[in-house]
Structure 1
């Protein structure tokens, strides 16, 4: 990437995210400068937005301060992804993200730390982002990837989710995943219970979004709990793949059913889902692009409500870097439309 195409400071969230998406889109292995320079530049952009946010906060311009901190979070997220192989810089950026979330959350109490009571008398901690106003609004249960916390997930999703007229409940994968049959669904159903009791949530418009391995948990919840009105999930592909692998292992030979039989099996899985479904393929997700395209074709033939987005990414000399800005905006745009 040439210096002439490097990101510049933008003064509003939409412009910042367009700049961020364009930067990630233009990454490639053939034209790279020192990755440390990129990290420094995006940290500078984030810090500058943070200074602006503090200044607006002191002036009492809370909404402008909040937008500045959302810009900062977008910039810091890019720096974190570029610094993933550099432990010291990665930890420094993660600390900046945590501080930015805390500051954003303190503005008009925009983020709440809540406790979700479970059926077995235990409890999990979560972050809750209320809607822009106090009216009953759609809500999304967002489950982090297996290597992330709810704080990390929230830092990435806040700029995409804020100002869409919906609330977000962010939970950590480790808190809600359990290998025992049905227990993950029970915990996530408790999250549904919690949202359903809130005065600012419309209980008929609650969706679920699972990131990474949590996409399979989102599918299971949508199958088991009819209160889920929309699901961003794996469409059952992870469990289907595990079942196929188990059959291969028991039989001792590869199981190679014909295309028609495979399509029928995928369709049976999807028929258990009674809500609209969005499958995210590629990137860091667990769904391959080829599997997702086949699933989408099966659903189109069966007139099932499933949509597909392919997460764009760039291969650099530091590895694959996902364009999370485009993916997250598409995901929350779909959720906003469906709910």
Structure 2
């Protein structure tokens, strides 16, 4: 996600991927730009278009099992990965915010302007949980994070289609991993995430 660097991502996730025989590719959308470029980047409406380009590249790599490619978003700066999942049918699984940010933002503006029909509030694209994804999606959050667990559950229950394979995992303060981005115990959350990926993709493969 914007605001994070690939080196941080690799440091946190490589051990979990290696344990399960997965390969890992980290994408840094900031490129060689400085962090103060973030505001300009987030104003772009096509941020998610980077993901199909990466999939095009992976499809040319003979060492990649292209039927078992998953995407993992790190951080909740936006829902651009969730929007990318809607545009990319080649993904086998996704771990992201599921469009919670977009849906929460839509509800906020609807209440702010007393709109009775929240569907007329513009968001960049249709949120993932209000559409039909081609792959299973895992959403993880901590109960002490920026979006309260009850609100997240409400959004998931009222927004996703009955046929959508969307799973919400809330980490409680008792088990740790409850802070924003699971900062109090990222290893616990990442173990859960990669166990879920392994259950979806199978063991000893590559993503």
Residue matched to 1:237:
100
Q: Does the CA-based 8 Å contact 1:280-1:287 persist in structure 2?
A: no
Rate the CA distance shift 1:172–1:283 in 2: closer, same or farther, 3 A: farther
**More contact order relative to length (CA 8 Å, sep ≥ 6):** 2
- The structural deviation recorded for 1:311 is 3.3
Mark the structure with the bigger radius of gyration: 1
- Inter-partner Cα distance in structure 2 for 1:193 and 1:281: 30
- TM-score, normalised to structure 1, is 0.46
Q: Are residues 1:291 and 2:154 paired?
A: no
Q: Does the CA-based 8 Å contact 2:93-2:137 persist in structure 1?
A: yes
1:151-210: CA deviations, max 9, x gaps?
Answer: 01111111111131221111225349553222x222121111111111111222211111
1:233-262: CA deviations, max 9, x gaps?
Answer: 11211111222233344x3x4x578xxxxx
1:86-125: CA deviations, max 9, x gaps?
Answer: xxxxxxxxxxxxxxxxxxxxxxxxxxxxxxxxxxxxxxxx
Q: Does the CA-based 8 Å contact 1:212-1:286 persist in structure 2?
A: no
Residue matched to 1:281:
141
Deviates more, 1:173-182 or 1:148-157: 173-182
Q: Where do 1:163-174 residues align within 5 Å? A: 163-174=19-30
Count of residue pairs the alignment pairs up: 180
Question: Which is richer in strand?
Answer: 1
Residue matched to 2:12:
156
Rate the CA distance shift 1:247–1:169 in 2: closer, same or farther, 3 A: same
Residue matched to 2:192:
330
Residue matched to 2:205:
none
Q: Are residues 1:304 and 2:164 paired?
A: yes
Question: Which residues of structure 1 form unaligned runs of 5+?
Answer: 1-144, 258-265
- Inter-partner Cα distance in structure 2 for 1:287 and 1:274: 26
- Inter-partner Cα distance in structure 2 for 1:309 and 1:247: 27
Q: Are residues 1:208 and 2:71 paired?
A: yes
Rate the CA distance shift 1:321–1:202 in 2: closer, same or farther, 3 A: closer
- The structural deviation recorded for 1:303 is 4.4
Q: Where do 1:132-211 residues align within 5 Å? A: 145-175=1-31, 178-182=42-46, 184-211=47-74
- TM-score, normalised to structure 2, is 0.71
Rate the CA distance shift 1:219–1:296 in 2: closer, same or farther, 3 A: same
Rate the CA distance shift 1:296–1:240 in 2: closer, same or farther, 3 A: closer
Q: Does the CA-based 8 Å contact 2:95-2:193 persist in structure 1?
A: yes
Aligned-residue RMSD, C-alpha: 3.3
